[in-house]
Amino acid sequence: MKRNIGSILAGMGVLFILFACFAFMSDKAVLGFTLTKWETIVPFLVGALFLFVGVGMLNKVAD
């Protein structure tokens, strides 16, 4: 169960980080969201949090 949740969190973290990178690099709306350069910090931090928590859960699971 922890392995599935950890994988989902890690995947969502990667997606959030990619979204933040695309939004930071683009001057146009990304997926309908128009974000300033400073507003892209929030999805990046959420993505980093999800990624680290997901990887941490995967490391703690014994096979």
Contact 8, 53 (CB under 8 A): no
CA pair distance 31, 23, nearest whole angstrom: 9
Helix (H, G, I), strand (E, B) or coil at 32: coil
Task: Indicate the pTM of the whole model.
Answer: 0.85
With beta carbons less than 8 A apart as the criterion, state whether 52 and 12 touch: no
Spans of all domains in the chain:
2-60
pLDDT at position 63, please?
65
pLDDT tens digit at each of 63 positions of the chain: 888 999 999 999 999 999 999 888 988 888 788 888 888 899 999 999 999 999 999 888 766
